[in-house]
């Protein structure tokens, strides 16, 4: 009888244990990063719960539904413990993490005061920055170098110095959204990229200098912004060569998170969509950066891709061929980090009769992003310790967290949140030698 599970490889190769300290190098100590760092410390001290984090609060079902076996994810796979995490980072401003968190105004003063000595001690290293790539920022705490290769070497030196104090390192970009860059010749191979570093090729953005340094040092790299960064052949090659896992880009937090929940539901029920208008107001520094058309273009590309892939207009022309999809982001300072995202969705049903859905998500951007940052670094560290995953480059199973999942060349990305969730959990089952869960379940009716 066909079962709800599928042949698990009971001989999974051994995953190295998560012993010792895990160093997390955060690029950009702004709203998301400081909410992430302060949040981890608050949880460690028992002041709050890690809500929104699958690695900390999620469970995973193993075996049959009748087995009643659903351990916590963190008890099932060998993840680094929060107590073993050590943070450092870079920023273009000299503010320490306490000052930057106070400036971001995401967390309440009382919470920050309780954590003040810890947060104050995390001071940014000077950043690799060039205003050409983020027009709205004027960096003052910036590395100087004779060319981009020299800057990459300085980041490598930062990584090596940090490595002396911890056992393993992961890097995560929580920096600003850079201008839109199309892949070009310089991105096509490691050799071309390295020549570009020497020649100061304009196609190499600061985020790529950090990523190059990380991957060269065997350090996994996650990208919270929609920047091109590792989405190029040179970085995929480097990631595989040095067993330094990468994943997609741009934290999937507010509006796109909702979109990748709703759109699959419409498709599953064969409801048509004629229009989807999404607009946002937000007033944090991210909003200010995105007010620049060139940075907005990068974000827009990341946000727009989602619907086409989920709705598959080629397969369902009657339902989705003529969809009008628009995304706007408006900088509105009074709201700070508390973004409001509106969606107006024009759908149609039986015999083509129109209906409308309105979503008004009054969210908190960094509160949604922080647990994603945590899960990504913990899972990338796990991938680096897992023989089957460490040298494959792109970790598609982490698409769950990202607006722009990265895939093998020629493969379309899965954007549907529930497919992504199943893929993630089945990957965990797989690497632990457990049966995969298919949800078939005919065996219960034998
Ligand atoms: N919060 C969310 O829901 C969310 C969702 C998806 C993506 N993002 C992305 O995450 C990133 C961070 O968001 P945020 O709200 O924390 O923004 P932020 O402006 O508060 O923080 C970004 C920080 O990066 C620093 N920075 C910029 N360029 C740098 C460089 N080259 N090196 C080092 N530091 C640099 C800035 O000085 C700033 O402190 C943005 O790109 C944003 O688009 C956020």
Which pLDDT does position 9 carry in this prediction?
52
Task: Determine the residue of 95, 227, 286 to mutate for testing ligand 1's pocket, defined as the one with the most ligand atoms within 8 A of the Cβ atom.
Answer: 286
The closest-lying atom of ligand 1 relative to the alpha carbon of residue 100 is 39
The closest-lying atom of ligand 1 relative to the alpha carbon of residue 34 is 16
| Residue pLDDT, tens place only, 214-272 | 999 999 999 999 999 999 999 999 999 999 999 999 999 988 999 999 999 999 999 99
Q: How far is the CA of 180 from the centre of ligand 1 (A)?
A: 15
Q: How far is the CA of 224 from the centre of ligand 1 (A)?
A: 8
What is the number of alpha carbons within 13 Å of residue 112 lying toward its C-beta? 18
Residue 399's nearest CA partner among 387, 390, 411, 386 is 411
Average pLDDT, the chain: 93
Report yes or no on whether pTM surpasses 0.85: yes
255 contacts 361 by C-beta, under 8 angstroms: yes
* Edge-first strand listing for the sheet containing 22-27: 125-126, 85-91, 22-27, 168-173, 221-223, 246-251, 402-404
Q: How far is CA 243 from the centre of its chain?
A: 19
Q: How far is the CA of 264 from the centre of ligand 1 (A)?
A: 29
Q: How far is CA 330 from the centre of its chain?
A: 22
Write the residue with the smallest CA distance to atom 2 of ligand 1.
365
Residues enclosing ligand 1, CB less than 6 A?
27-33, 90-93, 104, 127-129, 134, 137, 174-177, 206, 224-225, 250-251, 253-254, 284-286, 289, 365-366, 368-369
| DSSP per-residue letters across 200-239 | T-TT--HHHHHHHHHHHTT--EEE-S---TT-SHHHHHHH
Which pLDDT does position 12 carry in this prediction?
56
**Two tokens at 100?**
């930057």
Tokens 């000052």 belong to 99
Interior angle at CA 14, CA 12 and CA 15, nearest 5:
110
Q: Work out the average pLDDT over 64-72.
A: 94
Tokens 């379309």 belong to 412
Altogether, the residues listed in the chain come to a count of 446
The closest-lying atom of ligand 1 relative to the alpha carbon of residue 89 is 33
| DSSP per-residue letters across 273-334 | EEEEEEEEEE-SHHHHHHTSHHHHHHHHHHHHHHHHHHH-TTT-HHHHTT-EEEEEEEE-GG
| Residue pLDDT, tens place only, 85-136 | 999 999 999 999 999 999 999 999 999 999 999 999 999 999 999 999 998 8
| Residue pLDDT, tens place only, 184-224 | 999 999 999 999 999 999 999 999 999 999 999 999 999 99
The closest-lying atom of ligand 1 relative to the alpha carbon of residue 206 is 31
Write the residue with the smallest CA distance to atom 6 of ligand 1.
251
């Amino acid at each position: 009888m066909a079962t709800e599970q599928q042949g698990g490889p009971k001989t999974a190769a051994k995953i190295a244990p998560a012993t010792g300290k895990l160093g997390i190098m955060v690029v950009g100590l702004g709203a998301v990063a400081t909410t992430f760092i302060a949040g981890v410390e608050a949880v460690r001290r028992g002041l709050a719960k890690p809500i929104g984090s699958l690695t900390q609060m999620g469970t995973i079902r193993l075996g049959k539904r009748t087995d009643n076996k659903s351990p916590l994810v963190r008890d099932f796979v060998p993840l680094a413990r929060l107590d073993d995490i050590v943070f450092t980072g870079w920023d273009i401003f000299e503010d320490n993490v306490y000052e930057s968190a106070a400036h971001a105004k995401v967390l309440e003063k009382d919470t920050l005061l309780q954590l003040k000595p810890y947060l104050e001690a995390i001071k940014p290293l000077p950043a690799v920055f060039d205003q050409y790539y983020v027009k709205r920022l004027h960096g003052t705490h910036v590395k100087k170098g004779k060319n981009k290769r020299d800057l990459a070497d300085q980041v490598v030196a930062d990584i090596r110095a940090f490595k002396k104090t911890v056992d393993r390192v992961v890097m995560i970009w929580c920096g600003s959204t850079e201008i839109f860059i199309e892949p070009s010749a310089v991105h096509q191979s490691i050799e071309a990229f390295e020549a570009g570093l020497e020649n100061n090729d304009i196609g190499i953005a600061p985020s790529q200098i950090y990523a190059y340094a990380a991957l060269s040092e065997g350090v996994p790299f996650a990208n919270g912004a929609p920047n091109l960064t590792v989405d190029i052949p040179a970085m995929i090659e480097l990631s595989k060569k040095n067993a330094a896992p990468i994943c997609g880009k741009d934290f999937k937090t507010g509006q796109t998170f909702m979109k990748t929940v709703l759109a699959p539901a419409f498709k599953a029920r064969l409801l048509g969509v004629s229009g989807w208008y999404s607009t946002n107001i937000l007033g944090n520094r991210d909003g200010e950066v995105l007010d620049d058309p060139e940075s907005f273009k990068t974000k827009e590309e990341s946000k727009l891709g989602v619907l086409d892939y989920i709705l598959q207009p080629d397969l369902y022309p009657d339902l989705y061929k003529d969809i009008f999809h628009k995304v706007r982001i408006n900088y509105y300072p009074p709201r700070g980090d508390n973004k409001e995202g509106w969606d107006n969705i024009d759908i149609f049903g039986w015999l083509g009769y129109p209906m409308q859905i309105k979503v008004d998500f009054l969210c908190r951007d960094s509160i949604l992003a922080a647990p994603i940052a945590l899960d990504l670094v913990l899972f990338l560290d796990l991938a680096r310790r897992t023989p089957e995953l460490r040298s494959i480059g792109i970790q598609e199973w982490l698409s769950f967290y990202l607006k722009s999942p990265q895939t093998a060349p020629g493969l379309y990305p899965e954007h549907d949140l529930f497919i992504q969730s199943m893929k993630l959990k089945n990957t965990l089952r797989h690497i632990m030698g457990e049966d995969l869960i298919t949800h078939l379940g005919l065996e219960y009716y034998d």
